[in-house]
Structure 1
Amino acid sequence: MSSGTDYEDRFRRVYASNFQPLLAYALRRAMQPEDAADVVAETFLVAWRRCHELPADAEVRLWLYGVARRVLANHHRTGVRRERLGERLRQRMWDIVAADPGSEVPERLAVQAALARLGEFDREVLTLTIWEGLEPRDVAAVLRVSPAVVRTRLSRARARLRDLIGDDLAPPGHVLDILTAPAPREGQ
């Protein structure tokens, strides 16, 4: 049975005599020099952990090449997964950028200007309904009026806003259509 010192000495010899050939092997197969350095480091880490299993000196380099080959395959798979993940992330970022509300700045400015021209009560009824997503009965509770008053004022506020904005600014399905659509009936 060998002592820990014997394993350390053997590992040092294996490392010293195989580092350069193993690095050359990895450099020829890795995409980047940094990847080759990682492969060699990981290969020698495996060799250190399995030092008691290292084959005879004449076969140790072949064993290290086998380990390096598996490490390279793992790096390749990891790189492919990383690339796929990166592509998904880039697509999601593009989707967010493409949906940037800043592209609707002129429309937003027109809506803000039109909202400013509405009376305070009508503006509050409209924004509580559209932006906060409240039902007319909920808006009525917030403003302490009846739901019938809210529905009437909401309908008038939408019509007035549509007149102030103009039909030519908003294509069909645009947020302005939602703002100025007829008021929903209670329970719909």
Structure 2
Amino acid sequence: MAPTAARGADAEYAEFAANRSGHLYRSACLLTGGDTHLAEDLVQETLSRMYAVWRRPGRFFGGRAIENPAGYAQGVLYRQFVSHHRRRSAGERPIAHVPDRPGAEGDSTLRVTLLEALGALPPRDRAVLVLRYWEDVSVEETATILRCGSGAVRTRTSRALVRLRALLGDSLSDLVQP
């Protein structure tokens, strides 16, 4: 790559990273059950992997061009999250609860309850629910991102929702304000 082309690609990547990092971070926070440190690590790993792909001529990966870098970055984030849980040798967490922070009045208790319930789900279940209901991604796109079949996504979604309902029980209706 020529030096001027490399500088252009670097500037383009910096703009991409600045525009997508907030969205990636919010998704990562949901995936990690509110563990902001792990969320930051996942976003940084995602952006570093994106940078490596970005510098390739024509942005090719696996023999094909990346047509949607934002979607590709989301896929990298979800695969990094699932991979992180596979690599962990123990189920320890650096914090026992979400630290107190000032936030919007009203739905903070609901938000914490949902984050705790999501955190109790297995990583792949959490990834499917966040993709389907937070990111509003179709079943087929979710299957592509997680590299599984659409039937597996439907099954995992159904089972994850049952687990989530079991974890939340009737307490969720008490937290929702009319």
With the length of structure 2 as denominator, give the TM-score of the two structures. 0.42
Instruction: Name the structure where helix makes up a greater proportion of residues.
Output: 1
With the length of structure 1 as denominator, give the TM-score of the two structures. 0.40
Q: Which has the higher contact order (CA 8 A, sep 6+)?
A: 2
Q: Which structure has the greater CA radius of gyration?
A: 1
